[in-house]
């Protein structure tokens, strides 16, 4: 299931509305801000794109139309896309394919969200499951983290180290919600939400927006960042701990995860492998989820996460920095915007324009989201 990038698809402009909590601002307001920034960077107006793809999970009917409407940019096809935590990735795959296939020369891809506060409520679960107490999202994350600890020989200390790394990176990110560093001791002493996950080990659902302008390459300008690979995949059945949150599962050691499926596609499209990647933004809904992704993306072998934590490999300055933006643990997670927020970070890292947390000399970047559905999306960008 490998094909997507055939034509040369470039990112010519990116924009963000910071992730956080913004009383008085609507999702549309934040979407407009991010889209205007991306259009400005690309040097065009809203009427100069041929189609728009908007990722959102809680944005309601015609969320993308409201943003384009506010910018007098309607009239073009506007497609709203929901794929849980991977909604922005799904929008980017559609946008990329629409250019690669020759349908359009320039499109807008954006994501926005204004999440309710507290534990995420998802229409994914049947009402009886909710009433029976069988829909506690953090408990599913906790069980997955527990299994990871058992399988990979990890401890709570390792889970805390991921939080320390990401929160340290987030200090220097003006778009992040949490910009104070934390220590391992503070992370472990924070309120227990679901054993082994403490409050600091879980990301916060919040608000924000991110946007990209995609253009057909090959005009000689050559200064855009190239979408070298992108794949959105759903789950194969059978894993009782999968992000599709099934009520049952079978022996699952040979079941390929949606992240592995998407990563295999994206690497193949790009003609690259994990050792070629210079910088990664990956899904850290909780700190265990990030450690699982390291292995699923091929950054290390299963069970090798402790070594990477010990030798600092995934710190900025290490051989494979992960979540230099601070990750969702620092930024929070506005579902429809989170995937594109990662892509914005990777674009800026590859351009070399990030202040204080630049990964030196990065030429290949990878972003990864995984969540409800299950849906996983892996994007590989090159310069």
Partner 1 sequence: MDGDRITLLGGWSPSSGLRHFPRAVVCPFTGADDVEAVDLPRSGTVLLHTEVVLAPPGYFGPVPYGFGVVELDGSPPLRIVTRLQGDDIHPGARVVLAAEEVPDADGNPLATWVFRS
Minimum Å distance from CB 261 to partner 1? 17
Cβ closer to partner 1: 65 or 121? 121
Neighbours of 240 (CB within 10 A): 16
Does 85 participate in catalysis according to the annotation?
A: yes
Cβ closer to partner 1: 22 or 125? 125
Contact at 8 Å (CB) between 75 and 49? no
Between CA 112 and CA 36 the distance in angstroms is: 13
Cβ closer to partner 1: 238 or 298? 238
Cβ closer to partner 1: 102 or 237? 237
CA 241 to chain centre: 20
Minimum Å distance from CB 132 to partner 1? 4
**Binding residues vs partner 1 (CB under 8 A):** 118-119, 121, 125, 127-128, 130-139, 142-143, 146-147, 150, 192-196, 237-238, 240-241, 245-251
Q: Which residue has the tokens 């200390």?
A: 157
Contact at 8 Å (CB) between 245 and 48? no
Minimum Å distance from CB 247 to partner 1? 5
Q: Which residues contact 262 (CB under 8 A, 6 or more apart)?
A: 231, 232, 233, 368, 376, 377, 378
Of residues 54, 85, 300, 377, which has the active-site annotation?
A: 85
Cβ closer to partner 1: 147 or 216? 147
| Long-range contacts from 185-192, C-beta under 8 angstroms, 24+ separation | 187/159, 187/160, 187/163, 188/156, 188/157, 188/160
Between CA 138 and CA 144 the distance in angstroms is: 10
Residue 227: φ, ψ to 5°: -85, 100
Neighbours of 242 (CB within 10 A): 22
Minimum Å distance from CB 160 to partner 1? 17
Minimum Å distance from CB 127 to partner 1? 7
Tokens describing residue 48 = 């100069």
Which residues are marked as active site? Answer: 85
């Amino acid at each position: 299931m490998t094909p997507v990038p055939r034509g040369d698809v470039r990112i010519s402009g990116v924009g963000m509305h910071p992730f956080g909590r913004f009383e008085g601002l609507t999702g549309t307001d934040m979407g407009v801000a991010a889209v205007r920034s991306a259009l400005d960077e690309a040097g065009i107006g809203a009427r100069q794109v041929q189609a728009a793809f908007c990722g959102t999970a809680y944005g309601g009917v015609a969320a993308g139309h409201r943003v384009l409407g506010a910018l007098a940019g309607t009239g073009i096809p506007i497609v709203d896309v929901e794929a849980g935590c991977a909604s922005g990735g799904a929008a980017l795959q559609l946008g990329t394919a629409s250019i690669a296939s020759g349908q359009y020369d320039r499109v807008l891809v954006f994501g926005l969200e204004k999440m309710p506060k507290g534990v995420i409520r998802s229409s994914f679960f049947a009402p009886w499951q909710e009433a029976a107490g069988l829909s506690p999202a953090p408990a599913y994350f906790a069980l997955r983290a527990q299994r990871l600890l058992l399988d990979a020989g990890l401890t709570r200390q390792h889970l805390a180290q991921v939080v320390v790394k990401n929160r340290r990176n987030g200090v220097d990110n003006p778009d992040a919600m949490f910009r104070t560093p934390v220590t391992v001791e503070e992370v472990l002493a924070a309120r227990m939400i679901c054993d082994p996950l403490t409050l600091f080990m879980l990301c916060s659902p919040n608000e924000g927006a991110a946007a990209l302008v995609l253009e057909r390459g090959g005009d000689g300008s050559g200064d855009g960042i190239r979408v070298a690979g992108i794949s959105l995949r759903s789950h194969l059945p059978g894993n009782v701990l999968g992000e599709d949150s099934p009520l049952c599962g079978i022996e699952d050691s040979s079941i390929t995860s949606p992240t592995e499926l998407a990563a295999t596609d994206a690497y193949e499209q790009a003609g690259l492998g994990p050792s070629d990647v210079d910088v990664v933004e990956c899904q850290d809904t909780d700190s265990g989820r990030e450690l699982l992704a390291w292995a699923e993306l091929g950054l290390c072998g299963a069970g090798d996460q402790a070594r990477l934590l010990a030798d600092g490999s995934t710190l900025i300055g290490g051989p494979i920095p992960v979540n230099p933006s601070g990750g969702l643990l620092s930024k929070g997670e506005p579902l429809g915007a989170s995937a594109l927020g990662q892509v914005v970070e990777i674009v800026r890292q590859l351009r070399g324009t990030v202040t204080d947390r630049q990964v030196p000399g990065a030429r290949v970047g990878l972003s990864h989201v995984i969540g409800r559905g299950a849906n996983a999306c892996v994007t590989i960008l090159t310069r």
